[in-house]
Amino acid sequence: MREYAIEIENLKKSFKKLAVLKGVNLTVKPGEVFTLLGPNGAGKTTIIRILSTLLKPDSGKIIVNGYNLKTQPQEIRQSIGLTGQYTAVDEYLTGLENLEMMGRLYHLSRSEIKQRVPILLEQFDLMEAARRPVKNYSGGMRRKLDLAAGLIASPPIVFLDEPTSSLDPRSRLAVWEIIKNLVSEGITVFLTTQHLEEADTLADRVAVINGGRIIADDTPERLKNLVGKERLELVFKTSEDFARALTIIKGSELYHDQKTNTVSLAVERGVIDIQEILNRMEKARIQVETLTLRKPTLDDVFMHFTGRKAEEEEGLKV
């Protein structure tokens, strides 16, 4: 078995004068779920579009499934399945017809298609809806069909560009379940997301991308430990209280936002930490408006690495 399913070396890409990727280096091992985490406009979709042969890079070496992107794009296309941000299924055809069409376009034989389609419909819980036109499907069903279409030829590598964006929580869980199943079949999954929680649930490895550069590349556990397993967020009534609180509260990974009078910090000991902080606030007669204990988000990771929130870079959506 080769060492890497995907290798990216010093990948650069600009649109007109706008540099979107400024030298990206990444490797993905076979059979792992690799997650690219970043805000809108960070370059996630651009990387996926390049890896799936839709976009030519300006420079850099790219190997997918052992094939060189420059010289063997057709071989790469045989080894990948892509599910883009928009559900790319035919509205007028039924789910079954969509899958059969994709099978034929992957040049599978009729018997292979006959064998593969029911398996996928079953696996994705679409058996009942198989003979209904897709335009009557719910968002979650479309997304599932879209994923199934990318898997029809059992490709060794699957690209998923924000597979759960615009899905309701239940469908999101269903898609997560499907992605976990892919892993058990030994498929390499390269997915992008804006949500740390999603990366944490699914990924073996997370790379954080910001402004066209990889700023972190680690396991989700270690990434999360960097910013605290849980975070306490305090909002103060007045800016005076906020300023005074800042001088009192001590903690690791402490960030504050003057505009919203908000302080957030990692809490390692849960309730004990909260109690301590509240006691101090009371002693100093500082009014806390709201208090929330929450899971770390992409923003916290970005605060850790860049000192600022994950801001969308406008006009970079490609």
Partner 1 sequence: MKRQSLYQKACWLANDIQVLFIRSLKHIYKNYDQLLGLTIQPIMFMLLFRYVLGGAILVEEGTYINFLMAGILVQGVAFGSLTTSYSIAMDLQRGIIDRLKTLPITSWAVMMGHVAGDLVRNTLQAVIIIFMGLLVGFHPSASVPDWAVIVVLVFLFTLAVSWMAAIMGLAAKTLESVSWIGFLVMFPLTFASAAFVPTKTMPPVLRTFAENQPVTHIVEAIRALTLGKSAGHHLWFALVWCMAIIIISIPVAAYLFRRHGGK
Residues that bind partner 1 (CB under 8 A): 15, 49, 52-56, 74-75, 77-78, 80, 82, 84-93, 97, 101-102, 104-107, 133, 149-150, 318
**Cβ proximity to partner 1, 212 vs 228, nearer residue:** 212
What is the nearest approach in angstroms of partner 1 to the Cβ of residue 139? 14
- Residue 278 CB: number of other CB atoms within 10 A? 15
What is the nearest approach in angstroms of partner 1 to the Cβ of residue 227? 34
Where are the alpha helices (H) located in the chain, listed in sequence order? Answer: 44-51, 73-79, 95-105, 110-123, 139-151, 169-184, 196-202, 220-227, 239-248, 271-283, 298-306
What is the nearest approach in angstroms of partner 1 to the Cβ of residue 81? 8
What is the nearest approach in angstroms of partner 1 to the Cβ of residue 109? 11
The distance from CA 212 to its chain's CA centroid, rounded to whole angstroms, is 16
- Beta strand 33-37 with 205-210: parallel, antiparallel or unpaired? parallel
Angle between helices 95-105 and 139-151 (to 10 degrees): 20
Per DSSP, the three-state class of 191 is strand
Q: CA dist 129 to 16, 86, 125, 141, 197, Å?
A: 44, 20, 9, 9, 30
**Cβ proximity to partner 1, 101 vs 226, nearer residue:** 101
What is the nearest approach in angstroms of partner 1 to the Cβ of residue 53? 6
Closest CA to 48 of 61, 66, 36, 60: 36
In whole angstroms, what is the distance from residue 179 CA to residue 143 CA? 12
Rounded to a whole number, what is the distance in angstroms from the first to the last CA of the chain? 35
**Cβ proximity to partner 1, 134 vs 206, nearer residue:** 134
Per DSSP, the three-state class of 115 is helix
**Cβ proximity to partner 1, 160 vs 214, nearer residue:** 160
**Cβ proximity to partner 1, 86 vs 260, nearer residue:** 86
What is the nearest approach in angstroms of partner 1 to the Cβ of residue 88? 4
Q: Helix count (H) and strand count (E) of the chain?
A: 11, 14
> Is-contact 11 23, C-beta < 8 A?
yes
What is the nearest approach in angstroms of partner 1 to the Cβ of residue 97? 7
**Cβ proximity to partner 1, 16 vs 285, nearer residue:** 16
**Cβ proximity to partner 1, 158 vs 310, nearer residue:** 158
